[in-house]
Amino acid sequence: MIAQESLSFTTRGRGTYDMTRAVQQAVRESGIRIGLCHLFVQHTSASLILCENADPRVRRDLEAFMSRLIPDGDRLFEHADEGPDDMPAHIRAILTQVELTLPIRGGTCALGTWQGLYLYEHRTRGLERRITLTMHGE
């Protein structure tokens, strides 16, 4: 069996957005009990991460690291058509992940105790983001 679902999220700007519940619900509704769930974000300035879900400091530390590694407005970057966060957002997406594949067991994604699924928005302004989920299994 194959099922596909599209999820939309409106962000408020740079940061992580928990999408674990929405993904788990889509997997449950697919009727697939065992298989794989593939997630793909349809944007070049946002990404997907599997991350610690118990302590929000982990995600804040990730953002602090990324800000130090890839600062907005760096004169190194030529591409700034949409502002000083434009090229840094693209680099952040390239260095993280735009797709994830997770096992489905018992009708849900088999996540570890402290794992959560997050949309990682790299632009400083809020945007509408689309994620395609494709579930394969039985």
Of 72, 109, 113, the C-alpha closest to 89 is 72
Average pLDDT, the chain: 97
Range 24-29, long-range pairs (CB < 8 A, 24+ positions): 24/108, 24/109, 26/133, 26/135, 27/104, 27/107, 27/108, 27/109, 27/133, 27/135, 28/107, 28/108, 29/5
pLDDT of residue 83: 94
Q: What is the pLDDT of residue 91?
A: 97
Which residue type, as a one-letter code, is found at position 90?
H
The three-state secondary structure class of 14 is coil
Kindly state the tokens that stand for 49. Answer: 């991460």
pTM: 0.95
Q: pLDDT tens for residues 18-67? A: 999 999 999 999 999 999 999 999 999 999 999 999 999 999 999 999 99
CA–CA separation, 77 vs 59, rounded Å? 26
Q: What is the pLDDT of residue 131?
A: 98
Residue 50: which of 2, 101, 92 has the closest Cα? 101
